[in-house]
């Protein structure tokens, strides 16, 4: 259909929302992004964007920035926790390199590109309700203001307030996993920067460089049962972090010793949504398919969604058909990637003899490990 002048409201100015707004606006739509935060800002943390996500960033014209914006990865080393011994080296996927982004940089790139394209960005706009009317939807903001649009995309994250409109109330489950996130200044640049995944019993740590290797990003995951509240970002205590990973040695031990500020997330999950759309309103990104971060695919899936949604509008005769086509194009893949991330939670945290057996298998597999997930990375939604 011709979406020239068609009014879209995108709820949420995260990676999924901004990419969607940009993909629709450049096709001629008139897009407004409603973001609850007063400013589109983000604290320090990294994101790995693999080839499937990079194809979308390139197609949107936001991946050509200075090298500091995206650090090309030369693979991943898998390490044992005690002394940091390298178990295996996993090369970059055949589909293409992963890039390490500071989340704030990626958001800033998308934000600026959306503004340049003519997207209207409305920070400080919290959506409380979306109502379906014949031919359009009505969006209600906190404070009572109302807007109308022919189509509404809810990219309002894993704690989406809009998802219950389509799927009813669901109680998120605590995954018994807690994520600590920090960045530290880094002054040991490598010729070929890579990520390190260091695995120990019940815990793992992922580190990779950011911003021309001037910073090191740290994600430390631990299994925990003592958390019952779904919290977004909380401030953590670096001393507590070090105590919980005190038996992690080698480079990762040195890195954890330098952490000054850390945030902590309890990882709660809802399942992949049963219903993604109702002909006027559609879910996108974490709102549709929250995932554990153990495949580093949440933002990549949101980018894929953005492109596939915009493409569906090109191919279908009306809004309802486009949203239905989007849902059917995305659901099975999202389920498969989310399941792969869930099984990594078990694989990374093995204990005792199971851990030793898994390490032997990883050593034997070596470079062939990259092939295992090629189905994720080689998917090109822009093809």
Ligand X SMILES: Cc1cc2nc3c(=O)[nH]c(=O)nc-3n(C[C@H](O)[C@H](O)[C@H](O)COP(=O)(O)OP(=O)(O)OC[C@H]3O[C@@H](n4cnc5c(N)ncnc54)[C@H](O)[C@@H]3O)c2cc1C
- Are 377 and 76 a contacting pair, CB within 8 Å? no
- Alpha helices by DSSP H, listed for the chain, are 15-25, 51-59, 103-117, 163-167, 238-244, 250-257, 298-315, 319-348, 352-365, 369-372, 374-377
Tokens at residue 172, please?
């998120």
Q: Is 16 in the site for ligand X (CB under 6 A)?
A: yes
Site for ligand X in 247-266 (CB under 6 A): 265
Q: Is 15 in the site for ligand X (CB under 6 A)?
A: yes
Nearer to ligand X, 46 or 253 (CB): 46
Tokens at residue 149, please?
């649009």
Tokens at residue 27, please?
């096709």
CA distance 84 to 80: 5
For the residues of 142-155, what is the DSSP string, one character each? TTS-EEEESEEEE-
What dihedral angle (degrees, nearest 10) is formed by the CA atoms of 20, 126, 335, 26?
0
Query: Which of 299, 322, 325, 376 forms a contact with ligand X (CB under 6 A)?
Result: 299
Nearer to ligand X, 48 or 198 (CB): 48
Binding mask 159-178 for ligand X (x = CB under 6 A): --x-----------------
The secondary element (H helix, E strand) that includes residue 46 is strand 46-49
Nearer to ligand X, 34 or 119 (CB): 34
Binding mask 29-68 for ligand X (x = CB under 6 A): -----xxxx---------xx--------------------
The least CB distance from residue 318 to ligand X, in Å, is 25
Burial of 90 (0-12, 13-18, 19+ CB in 10 A): buried
Q: Give helix 51-59 / helix 298-315 axis angle, nearest 10°.
A: 50
The secondary element (H helix, E strand) that includes residue 342 is helix 319-348
Q: Is 11 in the site for ligand X (CB under 6 A)?
A: yes
Q: Is 119 in the site for ligand X (CB under 6 A)?
A: no
Query: Which of 179, 210, 340, 370 forms a contact with ligand X (CB under 6 A)?
Result: 179
Query: Which of 6, 10, 13, 373 forms a contact with ligand X (CB under 6 A)?
Result: 13
Tokens at residue 291, please?
């995932």
The least CB distance from residue 204 to ligand X, in Å, is 12
Q: Is 297 in the site for ligand X (CB under 6 A)?
A: yes
Binding mask 354-383 for ligand X (x = CB under 6 A): ------------------------------
Q: Of 170-178, 284-292, 318-326, 373-381, which part binds ligand X (CB under 6 A)?
A: 284-292
Q: What are phi and psi of 147, to 5 degrees?
A: -130, 160
DSSP one-letter code for 295? G
Q: Of 65-73, 186-194, 296-304, 317-325, which part binds ligand X (CB under 6 A)?
A: 296-304
Q: Is 293 in the site for ligand X (CB under 6 A)?
A: yes
CA distance 93 to 99: 12
Instruction: Give the residues lining the site for ligand X (CB under 6 A).
Output: 11-17, 34-37, 47-48, 126-127, 155-157, 161, 179, 181, 219, 265, 285-287, 293, 296-300, 302
């Amino acid at each position: 259909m011709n979406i020239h002048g068609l009014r879209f409201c995108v709820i949420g100015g995260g990676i999924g929302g901004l990419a969607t707004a940009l993909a629709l606006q450049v096709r001629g739509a008139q897009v407004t992004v409603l973001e609850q935060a007063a400013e589109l800002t983000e604290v320090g943390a990294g994101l790995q964007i693999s080839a499937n996500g990079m194809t979308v960033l390139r197609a949107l014209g936001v991946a050509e920035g200075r090298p500091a914006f995206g650090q090309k990865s030369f693979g991943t080393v898998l390490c044992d926790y005690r002394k940091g011994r390298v178990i295996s080296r996993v090369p970059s996927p055949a589909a293409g390199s992963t890039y390490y982004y500071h989340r704030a940089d990626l958001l800033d790139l998308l934000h600026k590109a959306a503004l340049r394209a003519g997207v209207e960005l409305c920070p400080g706009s919290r959506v409380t309700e979306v109502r379906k009317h014949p031919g359009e939807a009505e969006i209600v903001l906190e404070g009572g203001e109302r807007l109308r649009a022919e189509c509404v995309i809810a990219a309002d994250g894993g704690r989406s307030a809009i998802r219950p409109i389509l799927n009813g109330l669901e109680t998120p489950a605590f995954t018994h996993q807690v994520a600590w996130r920090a960045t530290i200044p880094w002054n040991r640049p490598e010729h070929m920067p890579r990520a390190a995944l260091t695995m120990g019993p019940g815990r793992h740590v992922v580190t990779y460089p950011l911003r021309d290797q001037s910073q090191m990003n740290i994600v430390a995951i631990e299994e925990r049962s003592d958390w019952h509240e779904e919290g977004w970002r909380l401030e953590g205590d670096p001393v507590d972090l070090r105590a919980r990973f005190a038996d992690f040695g080698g480079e990762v031990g040195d890195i954890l010793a330098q952490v000054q500020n850390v945030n902590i997330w309890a990882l709660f999950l809802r399942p992949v949504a049963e219903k993604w759309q109702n002909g006027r309103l559609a879910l996108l990104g974490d709102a549709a398919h929250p995932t554990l971060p153990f495949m580093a695919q949440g933002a990549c899936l949101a980018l894929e969604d953005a492109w596939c949604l915009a493409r569906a509008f090109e191919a279908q005769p009306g809004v309802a058909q486009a949203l239905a086509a989007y849902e059917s194009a995305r659901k099975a893949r999202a389920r498969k990637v989310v399941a792969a991330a869930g099984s990594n939670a078990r694989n990374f945290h093995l204990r005792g003899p199971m851990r030793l057996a898994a390490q032997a298998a990883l050593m034997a597999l070596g470079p062939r490990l990259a092939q295992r997930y090629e189905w994720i990375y080689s998917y090109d939604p822009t093809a």
